[in-house]
Structure 1
């Protein structure tokens, strides 16, 4: 009879566990999740590096457009007007200010290509940042769901351990009075030991899930209002 009671208790716990797992979606707080994602995008070191790389690429692209002027060079000379246009000291036909402009044709030809390359590099940096942000957002969502699951399982296994303790105490009292066989006592004790072990494992899973989520968002969960 005691074996039947134990088996029924186990089946009831399994049924409760299935229902709890099916209802985890109701525990999701999407506003809280959005806060976690925003914190990750603000604090995650790798994303900061990629944003800096994107800024460098943007600066290089803007600079490349401005350096078109480097293809041109100018100079001027001045010859006094009160001297003859042609003499040994002033062998020029024209006096006054004289301006000259030079063009680096090779550089002028190459420049559009280098500007386009800088623009492509900047665009690649933008796309890489966008891709990483999307991946980071997905990682935060996954970590949050795992965190919720770990809380759910910890509560579930804690409740099961408490129920197992009640069952064990009852069977132990019956066994001590000679009202329960030794195998029923052994099963109850084994079930309690397994339940306690599952609580410890659930606690470890909870701590790992919490640490993993905090690593992504860069702050402690307890500090979030």
Structure 2
């Protein structure tokens, strides 16, 4: 059989596979889209917002800014100064000139600092703007954290899918090795062919081990953000 005939048969076989839908079924089995549930992703994001320490840092900054607004509002009374003076009616206090004091008894006074009073509205507005700035920074970080949770979770799902493929490939290689071993023992295959299949199985097993490690690394990346085990969030 010539190379051209082999190529034509190979193309015909490929067309037959896709026409029967086998190729589509295989593609559907390897896709990660069904694993990307919107509900699961939202639960991961909500958990990260609740548990990730840096979110607490931004919340505290907002609280401090809000407390400063209340403090500035209360400082309106700083512009007022109240004084109290008591002058006894006893002339023996000043024997030289007992009538030199015009006012006798208790005296109270209220003083208003107009400069301080006029600066308060501006101070209040500045304090409120600081609250808005802190809230904006908090929202921005929440958006950044949400994106990072999605990215790491997508990577985790991808690694799981890759591991499944590697497990399937390793199983196929192991089955093929068993067939070659039987044929080799019967003298139907050469030692060289048997050795090649054995090497392929070893390579598949090594790739599978690496894929398993990638899954654990990706899982740890997600759990770093959500602050708990992945299984506690995604059932």
Which bin holds the TM-score, normalised by the shorter protein? 0.7 to 0.9
Over residues 6-25 of structure 1, what are the superposed CA-to-partner deviations in whole Å (9 max), with x where a residue is unaligned?
A: xx9xx99x99875444x311
Over residues 150-184 of structure 1, what are the superposed CA-to-partner deviations in whole Å (9 max), with x where a residue is unaligned?
A: 22221221111111100111112212322113443
For 1:109 and 1:80, locate their aligned partners in 2 and report how far apart those are by CA, in whole Å. Answer: 38
What is the match of residue 141 of structure 1? 150
Specify every segment of 5 or more residues in structure 2 that has no aligned partner in the other structure, as ranges.
1-5, 18-22
What is the match of residue 199 of structure 2? 190
For 2:27 and 2:154, locate their aligned partners in 1 and report how far apart those are by CA, in whole Å. Answer: 17
Q: SS state of the match for residue 180, structure 1?
A: coil
After TM superposition, give the deviation of residue 37 of structure 1 in Å.
Answer: 1.3
What is the match of residue 107 of structure 1? 116
Over residues 91-146 of structure 1, what are the superposed CA-to-partner deviations in whole Å (9 max), with x where a residue is unaligned?
A: 44455553322223333343333333222221111000011111111111112211
CA RMSD of aligned residues (A): 2.9
For 1:100 and 1:106, locate their aligned partners in 2 and report how far apart those are by CA, in whole Å. Answer: 19
For 2:98 and 2:182, locate their aligned partners in 1 and report how far apart those are by CA, in whole Å. Answer: 127
CA distance 1:80–1:185, change in 2 (3 Å): same
Q: SS state of the match for residue 179, structure 1?
A: coil
Range moving further from structure 2, 202-211 or 112-121: 112-121
For 1:66 and 1:141, locate their aligned partners in 2 and report how far apart those are by CA, in whole Å. Answer: 44
For 2:99 and 2:139, locate their aligned partners in 1 and report how far apart those are by CA, in whole Å. Answer: 66
What is the match of residue 170 of structure 1? 179
For 2:79 and 2:202, locate their aligned partners in 1 and report how far apart those are by CA, in whole Å. Answer: 82
> Is the 1:37–1:217 Cα contact (8 Å) retained in structure 2?
yes
TM-score normalised over the length of structure 1: 0.81
TM-score normalised over the length of structure 2: 0.78
For 1:160 and 1:15, locate their aligned partners in 2 and report how far apart those are by CA, in whole Å. Answer: 19
Equivalenced residues, count: 213
What is the match of residue 169 of structure 2? 160
Specify every segment of 5 or more residues in structure 1 that has no aligned partner in the other structure, as ranges.
none
What is the match of residue 66 of structure 1? 74
For 1:170 and 1:90, locate their aligned partners in 2 and report how far apart those are by CA, in whole Å. Answer: 128
> Is the 1:17–1:156 Cα contact (8 Å) retained in structure 2?
no
